[in-house]
């Protein structure tokens, strides 16, 4: 990577357009209106997210970055229907989300594989739960495992794999039923740098070829800029939208995109949010 270009981050560069969270096409994609979360506990309330309003377009690669504890996983769980918001509404393709919905693949922050199922059976879990034809999806499950470098580990139990390998298996599980929407919570956090880059490129290819809508959470600002059509930057807890940036890098992108001056400038601009907040994530 080239050394970072010196820029004045207080002067927005013309090509780094700050856009509003709202967009057209409200009946497609994912729309949040006034969605907030306060956890109630015996020790008192924990306000985790301020009311959020934004729209993720259908087929968009949308990435969220923010300091630890600012409510990113909470946001993903509310979009997936696993956690009810304290206020506001989530719409997925125009439908209010009230419970987990079928056309979504989720990669949780922890791999969450079932310890008694082998790797292949874990990947096949959505197929079994949806009672889809096993024979039809078995080949797909094996193909995905091969793609992420887990060929030969199909019969192993989760504890026999490293954390990064388990996380790769959980990515396969999220993709196996070919969902239209992928919600991914730090999916590559447990991977070594080289595997992570390979998985980045692979995920971009899959997204591009299938037109999936992807919401991905990451702590890595370069990863966010490399992958995203737009990057949402969150503030400290209770999380709010600090900014949403367009990423004007052309697609398809190779790892060379990381040496583009636009990439470097955008990474620096986003990093500045965390310096001013005093959190180095």
Chain positions contacting ligand ATP, by CB under 6 A: 39, 41, 46, 48, 66, 68-74, 109, 237
Q: Is 38 in the site for Mg ion (CB under 5 A)?
A: no
Closer to Mg ion by CB, 58 or 109: give it.
109
Q: Which is nearer to ligand ATP, 41 or 254 (CB)?
A: 41
For the chain, state the CA radius of gyration: 19
> Please, which residues bridge with residue 44 across strands?
41
Site string for Mg ion, 100-139 (x = CB under 5 A): ---------x------------------------------
CB of 106 to Mg ion, least distance (A): 13
Closest CB to ligand ATP among residues 70, 92? 70
DSSP result, 207-238:
HHHHT-EEEEEES-HHHHHHH-SEEEEE-SSS
> Considering the complex, what minimum distance in angstroms separates the CB of residue 199 from ligand ATP?
19
Q: Is the separation of the CB atoms in 208 and 177 below 8 Å?
A: no
In the complex, the smallest distance separating the C-beta of residue 185 from Mg ion, rounded to whole angstroms, is 6
| Cα angle: 54, vertex 55, 59; to 5 degrees | 150
Question: What would the DSSP string read from start to end of 125-137?
Answer: HHHHHTT--HHHH
**Which of 137/188 has CB closer to Mg ion?**
188
Q: What are the angstrom distances between the C-alpha of 93 and each of 26, 27, 30, 169, 175?
A: 8, 5, 6, 28, 19
Q: Which residues contact 12 (CB under 8 A, 6 or more apart)?
A: 18, 269
CB 218 to ligand ATP: min, Å? 9
Residue 8 interacting entry, from ligand ATP, Mg ion, none, C-beta within 5 to 8 Å by type: none
Contact flag: residue 73 with Mg ion (CB under 5 A): yes
Residue 119 to residues 158, 161, 165, Cα–Cα distance (Å)? 6, 9, 10
Nearer to ligand ATP, 35 or 145 (CB): 35
3 state DSSP class of 44 = strand
Q: How far is the CB of 108 from ligand ATP (least distance, A)?
A: 11
Residues that bind Mg ion (CB under 5 A): 72-73, 109
């Amino acid at each position: 990577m080239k050394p970072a270009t010196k820029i004045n981050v207080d002067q927005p560069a013309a090509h780094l357009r700050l856009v509003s969270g709202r967009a057209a096409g409200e009946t497609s994609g994912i729309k949040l209106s006034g969605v907030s979360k306060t956890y109630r506990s015996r020790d008192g309330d924990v306000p985790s997210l301020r009311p959020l309003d934004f729209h993720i377009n259908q087929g968009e690669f949308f990435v969220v970055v923010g300091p630890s504890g600012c409510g990113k996983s909470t946001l993903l769980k509310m979009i997936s229907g696993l956690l009810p918001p304290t206020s506001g509404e989530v719409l997925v393709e125009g439908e209010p989300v009230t419970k987990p919905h079928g056309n979504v693949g989720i990669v949780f922050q922890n791999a969450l594989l079932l310890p008694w199922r082998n790797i292949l059976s874990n990947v096949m879990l959505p197929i079994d739960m949806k009672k889809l034809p096993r024979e039809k999806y078995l080949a797909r499950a094996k193909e995905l495992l091969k793609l992420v470098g887990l060929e030969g580990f199909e019969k192993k139990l989760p504890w026999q794999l490293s954390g990064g390998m388990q996380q790769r298996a959980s990515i396969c599980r999220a993709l196996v039923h070919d969902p239209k929407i992928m919600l991914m919570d730090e999916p590559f956090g447990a991977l070594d740098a080289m595997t992570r880059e390979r998985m980045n490129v692979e995920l971009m290819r899959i997204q591009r070829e299938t037109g999936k809508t992807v919401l991905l959470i990451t702590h890595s600002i370069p990863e966010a800029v490399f992958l995203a059509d737009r990057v949402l930057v969150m503030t400290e807890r209770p999380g709010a939208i600090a900014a949403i940036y367009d990423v004007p890098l052309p697609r398809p992108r190779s790892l060379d995109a990381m040496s583009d001056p636009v990439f470097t400038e955008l990474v620096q601009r986003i990093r500045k949010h965390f310096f001013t907040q005093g959190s180095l994530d």
